[in-house]
Structure 1
Amino acid sequence: MPQNHFCPWREEAEELKAEVGRIGGELDTLKGQMAALQRHVFGRKTERMPSVASELRQAAASPASKAARDEAALRTRRERAAHRAEEAPSREVRHLVPPAARRCPSCGSEDLKPLGAGRTSVVYEYVPAFFERQVHVQEVLACACGQGVVTAPVPAKVVDRGEYGPGFLAHVVTSKCADAMPLHRLAQRIERASVPMSRSTLTDLFHQAASVLLPLSSHLLQVIAAAEVVWADETPMRVLDVKKTKQGYLWTFLAQTQQGEWLLGYRFSLGRAGKTPTDVLGGTRGALVVDAYTGYNAVTLPEGRVRVGCWAHVRRRFFEALPTAPEAREALDFILALYRVEAQARDAGLVRTDAHRELRMQLSAPVLAALRTWLEKQTPLHLPKGPLGQALSYARKQWDALTRFVSDERLPLDNNRSEAALRKAALGRKNFLFVGHEAAGQNLAGLYALVATCEANGVNPETYLADVLLRVQTHPHARIGELLPHEWKHLRAADSS
């Protein structure tokens, strides 16, 4: 048969070969999904993706270093416990020797005298919190002339004619935003404390607090948007609708001050499009640390913030490819080497300094070059739709954003801070399931921001909210930033000193 003669079976063989490749890619994808699902549902925690910190510790493990690390951890726990013990309210409880036992067990004499300060032991006890019904009586004075009357000033209230004080509202907000407690459950707890309460009343109080604090939560987002480096992420949150729920989203935006204080802002929306990032960050310049979601393109393209990628997302994709592609371990080792450089800078106190940038240029840049070569070599060897093929494609498409950290010491390796900022919201989502409407979601986002920023800066949110709920209504708007949690903390410390 001539070589140029048409052979139908060859064309059919090529089609079958392509079909086998397609099916093989889908099979690898399904295997990876099955392995990840089994690991998540049935596997022990040690079988799930280990944290970078645990892998770094394991890589540097030695008997001496492990002993030193354990000793340092124990010392830290003891110091933290001692500090907590000093902060806890204390009360001395005296235990006297009973009258019948006030005689010497040897000679029977009743002439006994105290021996030292006595034996001391410490017991932690729970004293139930309580609500009180305050009856405010304003003194009224009248002049003998019968014309003049003087009345004591009315006590300050969060809401005119409101029956609940700022401490009560602060407790409601903190219980829901910090402790993820549904309001119907909180109403039951308040009822047990002999205060008449319903869920609808608590809901009204929650939204009243959000309305009063709106200038603060809005200003907090403005301060974050003005920062040079911003972290961002989003998570779903259901919204009640007629006979069903619909999808909403809670967005978080983070920034860090020059003093290292973290500012956390939130915004709620009914959609996941780029409108929310535009509303918060539109027109600003700097860097934006996000994952590969295209909704952030609105503030990064064509002119806007410089997009910075997340190595944690890359690492997760290669880890998920391990069951079907063991060679993914090489990529994980490269990524771990990048985090090792960051740990070295952190241990040496070089973070966000020129020395940190020099360390990255010296140690991280060669790792990135080797990883890039490995990616190019591996890409033709794996099906695009397989787990490893998808991981390789993700890393290559995000390469520019992923490597910008090398030349800028302000930029982090990952977006884990944003993901951590959404964990509290995820816990609340499990407990109270949904928000009632869009305005309720916006109020929740505003209060989440203030409470989360308090916790990030070591401020008790109940104490803070009870104070600013009254202050914000009379504080000059031009100086509203003084009431943000991190600034309020400094003012509080200055007042007490």
Structure 2
Amino acid sequence: MPDLPDDIAVLRAALAAAERRADLAEADAAHAKVKASGIEALVAHLTLQIEKLKRELYGARSERTARLLDQLEMQLEDAEAALTEDELAAERAAAKTATVARLERRRRGGRKPFPEHLPRERVVVSAPTACQCCGSDRLRKLGEDVTETLKMIPLRWKVVQTVREKFTCQDCERISQVPAPFHPTPRGFLGPNLLAMILFDKFGQHQPLNRQSERYAREGIDLPLSTLADQVGACVHALRPLHDLVAAHVLSAERLHGDDTTVPILAKGKTVTGRIWTYVRDNSPFGGPAPPEALYHASPDRTAEQPEEHLMDWTGILQADAYSGYGRFCAAGRSPGPLTQALCWAHARRKFFELADIAKNARRGKNAAPISPMALEAVKRIDALFAIERDINGLPAAERLASRRERSMPLLADFEGWMRTERARLSRHADVAKAMDYMLTRWDAFTRFTTDGRICLSNNAAERALRGIALGRRSWTFAGSQRGADRCALMLTMISTAKLNDIDQQVWLADVLARIADIPQTRLPELLPWNWAVATHQDQAVAA
């Protein structure tokens, strides 16, 4: 240890200098950490933007694109939070020293002004009564600076008392009273807005009723699970006539997307693997005027009898995967007529992509199977077809068909010839051979899009309609019964159809529940989402 001076003043000066050097080093280190965190946050932000732009320009590059974006958003969230922590730590460190400049915190995203429709509460800070410089009380107002802070008021509850006065006739002594107003549910005591929120939270946001009941209890409102379940059942019963109209509209289409997903259903003390089926009518790819709709059904299994029952009286073009149950619809003797089956190229592409997924193989390490060059070539050829589809999306059916015959059919002929040549050289046990056989044995159904401009290359419309269920299963685990699954299917039909028509599902549900009890049956179509949206816009225009 070096010799230390005996003079106290000298020791104090040395200690102060050492503390300054330590503070300076701490501040420099904090600044360096902020720079590193800023770079990390910037990289996460740019990576996310690049992936979003690629998806907009080129469509989904793989079946995992949506999940990839979710992961990138989580990484960006973590990076931004870490950057904020480091900036605050750097500010504290810089405050201890006079030589390190105060850190200028980075602005996040250029905050936009708060919406004009939000109510403003003006809080005026007491003005100074004297000059801070000379003490004079002769002050004159020059202006004001306004700082806006967004605050949230917890959900407000109130009880609406509907008073119906009674009158008695002084001549005949009979009592007169106006009739009671209609309520969304018989003997109900919950308003339409609250009922809509309960329904949307359960079926749109996948929040079970027991969690909703707990949330309400924390706000001082006693709405037990049994009460909420009773009201849900009553609302489903009230909405059933409107659901039947939606179902009739869906089954009047000439082309449908069909798909299904698993739903665990509680049955006799155990769960069975049930199914939720969806049939989507979406004519937007070829500019059709019919509004988009989605119809859901629930079943305890995946036997062919289920879609046969759903599509018993329907005939037309069915876009789906190669599920064998759909094949029975194509028989020539079927009544009212055989279906035309158009298979999904996204399903076929997935089988090749799994064998050519370079990123996934890299994560597997040394034991990863080699990348299949044939599968990679097949993916490239299929992607070329999807590129053409992106160019003609939204065009009339006739123009789509003409473009396909000019641009897609030569690619299809080359793709088929290449697959048959390569397939002849492969063992029937090879994975890529199985992927080729999946297409070659059904080639007519895969190439049907070259005979009708209304047909899409993929079945993504149906898969998007089922995505929420796949995510929601983690919240509600299983359906309590087959009837519970049927109620879920009915409400999914209503909510998804409203979503497809770009309207606020909860607002629409509240208005429907408020009006459906006393609206004549002949005017029920007014409440269908696409009609409701038009009427709402007209009312807003008149009010303006």
With the length of structure 2 as denominator, give the TM-score of the two structures.
Answer: 0.72
- Counterpart in the other structure of 2:484: 440
Q: Is the 8 A contact 2:276 2:296 kept in 1?
A: yes
Structure 1 residue 267 and structure 2 residue 311: aligned? no
Q: How far did 1:112 drift? A: 4.1
- Give the corresponding residue for 1:8: none
Measure, in 2, the Cα distance between the counterparts of 1:212 and 1:196.
Answer: 24
Gapped regions of structure 1 (runs ≥ 5): 1-44, 60-80
**Cα distance change, pair 105–334 in 1 and its aligned pair in 2 (3 A):** same
Name the CA shift for 1:189/1:381 in 2 (closer, same or farther; >3 Å): same
Structure 1 residues 379 and 487: CA distance shift in structure 2, 3 A = same
CA 106–274 in structure 1, closer or farther in 2 if over 3 Å, else same: same
For residues 489 and 307 of structure 1, do their structure 2 counterparts lie closer, same or farther at Cα, with a shift above 3 Å needed? Answer: same
Change (3 A) 1:52 1:317: farther
- How far the C-alpha of 1:125 sits from its partner, in A, is 2.2
Count how many residue pairs are aligned between Structure 1 and Structure 2. Answer: 425
CA contact (8 A) 1:283 1:304 kept: no
Matching residue of 1:98 = 126
CA deviations 1:34-74 (Å, max 9, x no partner) are: xxxxxxxxxxx99xx99994893899xxxxxxxxxxxxxxx
State how far apart, in whole Å, the 1-side matches of 2:136 and 2:339 are: 87
For residues 250-295 of structure 1, give each alpha carbon's deviation from its aligned partner in whole angstroms, at most 9, with x where no partner exists.
1011002533642111011112123332233223232111000012
Change beyond 3 A, Cα 1:54–1:156: closer
Query: Secondary structure of 2:265's match?
Result: strand
2:193 to 142, 167, 177: 167
1:56/1:336 contact within 8 Å kept:
no
CA distance 1:122–1:361, change in 2 (3 Å): farther
Which residue type is aligned with residue 202 of structure 1? Answer: L
Q: Which residue of 2 aligns with 1:69?
A: none
2:340 to 293, 306, 318: 306
Mapped partners of 2:408, 2:149: distance in 1 = 52
Q: Distance in 2 between matches of 1:425 and 1:58?
A: 20
Distance 1:187 1:313, change over 3 A: same
Look up the equivalent residue of 1:166 and give its one-letter code.
P
In structure 2, stretches of 5+ residues that fail to align are 1-46, 62-110, 357-368
Change (3 A) 1:398 1:352: farther
Give yes or no for contact 1:320–1:387 (8 Å, CA) kept in 2.
no
Q: Give the corresponding residue for 2:350.
A: 316
Aligned counterpart, 2:258: 232
- TM-score when scaled to structure 1? 0.79
| d(CA) in 1 for partners of 2:142, 2:340 | 73
In 2, Cα distance between the equivalents of 1:426 and 1:438? 18
Structure 1 contact 454–460 (Cα < 8 Å) conserved: yes
Report the Cα distance in structure 1 between the residues aligned to 2:483 and 2:377, rounded to whole angstroms.
48
CA contact (8 A) 1:211 1:443 kept: no
* Mapped partners of 1:434, 1:329: distance in 2: 38
Amino acid at match of 2:158: E
Distance (whole Å) between structure 2 residues aligned to residue 138 and residue 455 of structure 1: 38
Over aligned residues, Cα RMSD in angstroms?
2.9
Helix, strand or coil for the counterpart of 1:235? Answer: strand
Q: Deviations over 1:352-383 (max 9, x none)?
A: 34322222111111111111011101112223
Greater RCO (CA < 8 Å, at least 6 residues apart)? 1
Q: 2:389 aligns with which of 313, 334, 342?
A: 342
Say whether 1:422 aligns with 2:466. yes
1:472-494 Cα shifts (integer Å, max 9, x gaps): 33334344333221221111212
Could you tell me the percent identity over the aligned residues?
28
Q: Output the CA distance in 2 between the equivalents of 1:209 and 1:96.
A: 47
- Which moves more between the two structures, 167-176 or 473-482? 473-482
Over 3 Å counting, the alpha-carbon distance change for 1:144 and 1:93 in structure 2 is same
The structural deviation recorded for 1:113 is: 4.4
